[in-house]
Amino acid sequence: MRVQSETRRVRRVRYTTHAVAALAVALALAGCGKDEAEQPQAAGPAKQAQQQATPATAVSEKIAAMTPEQLAEAARKAYAENRLYAPAGDNAVEYYLALRDKRQNDPSVASALTDLLPMTVIAVEQSVAREDFAEAQRLTALLEKADAQHPALARLKGSIASAQQAAAQRAEQQKLTAEEEAKRQQEIERQRQLDQQRQQEEAARQLAAQQDAERRAAEQRAAEQRAAEQRAAEQRAAEQRAAEQRAQQPAAAQTATASAADLRPISTPAPRYPPEALRAGTSGEVLVEFTVAPDGTVANARVVRANPPRIFDREAVNAVRRWRFQPVGNAVTTRRTINFNPGG
């Protein structure tokens, strides 16, 4: 997937250029003797994420209090507007997780989460790459609530812990100033928005392509159904015409029963030779059974035997349906063998 390739490239380039983790604030201020009561932000985004980002609290209380109908509508809207996993408290993943709690056996909710989880995994990796541990913890909590046995979960948690430890070690050495930390946080937020926008737009394009393919398949099935219904209507109309003609014939004529020997062709166009068979020099024959209506039209054409099978069947049946005979006193069912010879 292109999104995954872009994620790996971003992670390699930016991992070494971003500043230290938010946990550095707590260590730096502790070294300067700041009191935590006076500097509550010293806990850092990483610690806040550890306190907040648990599966039990991954979905906000506001979302959890919504009705199933409200959740379904909010989820569809967020999905359509590419708010797949962000911002926090207003994204498709949270809405679908809350809806799953209320409708545990809804297959549409399970399907939507299945589509969204790979994107959430990528977003966690991007957050770790830019050392945005608060966002990484939030997304990991969403992933864990959605699937506690997800194969990427342990790896992601280990990656977050390792990156936090490395960031803490660098913070101890560098002792960032408050101004530098503020700039770093601004850059993290800017990069987060860029990454989320790119990924969600790409995911939306892929989902739209998938939905378009499904729509085209549905349209094809509908067209085939309409064609079948049209053929059935034509057959019924032919039978009705035959019945009307029989009713209009004199009583003596109605007593005479026509047979296959009475059929007089008016037009019997030859079948089209399948291009693949023609190129391969394949010959064969098809025995077709069909019914000639009293008005001379053909209905109920079907293949009785074909040699070789399924090579010339369709073209033989299509040709017979175009045949026309002189009107007869009653419907007559007969069989004809149609030969296919590339040299003929």
Domains of the chain, each with CATH number or no CATH: 2-220 (no CATH), 260-340 (3.30.2420.10)
Q: What is the mean pLDDT of residues 220-246?
A: 88
Please tell me the predicted confidence (pLDDT) of residue 194: 92
Mean pLDDT of 119-135: 96
Contacts 24+ apart (CB under 8 A), 99-105: 99/68, 99/71, 99/72, 99/75, 101/59, 101/64, 102/68, 102/71, 103/68
In this prediction, residues 141-145 reach a mean pLDDT of: 95
DSSP conformation class of 288: E
**Which has more pLDDT, 10 or 119?**
119
Angle between helices 92-102 and 107-129 (to 10 degrees): 140
Are the beta carbons of 304 and 289 closer than 8 angstroms?
Answer: yes
Query: Worst-scoring range by mean pLDDT, 53-62, 64-73, 77-86, 272-281?
Result: 53-62
Is the Cβ–Cβ distance between 131 and 18 less than 8 Å? yes
Confidence label for 38 from pLDDT (cuts 50, 70 and 90) = very low
C-alpha distances (whole Å) from 130 to each of 21, 48, 108, 207 are 9, 17, 34, 27
Tell me: the pLDDT tens digits for 288-344? Answer: 999 999 999 999 999 999 999 999 999 999 999 999 999 999 999 999 999 999 886
- Which of 95-109, 162-176, 196-210, 252-266 is predicted least confidently? 252-266
Q: Is the pLDDT of residue 286 over 90?
A: yes
User: Which pLDDT does position 250 carry in this prediction?
Assistant: 55
Average pLDDT estimate for 55-60 = 83
> Is the predicted pLDDT of residue 50 greater than 60, yes or no?
no
Higher-scoring residue by pLDDT: 333, 7? 333
Entry pTM: 0.43
pLDDT band for position 117 (cuts 50, 70, 90): very high
Please tell me which residue, 181 or 262, carries the higher pLDDT value: 262
Are 85 and 146 in contact, with CB atoms under 8 Å apart? no
Confidence of residue 248 (pLDDT cuts 50, 70, 90): confident
- pLDDT tens sequence across 146-160: 999 999 999 999 999
Average pLDDT, the chain: 83
Do you find a cis peptide bond into 308, omega within 30 degrees of 0? yes
Determine the Cα–Cα distance for residues 320 and 328; give it in Å rounded to an integer.
17
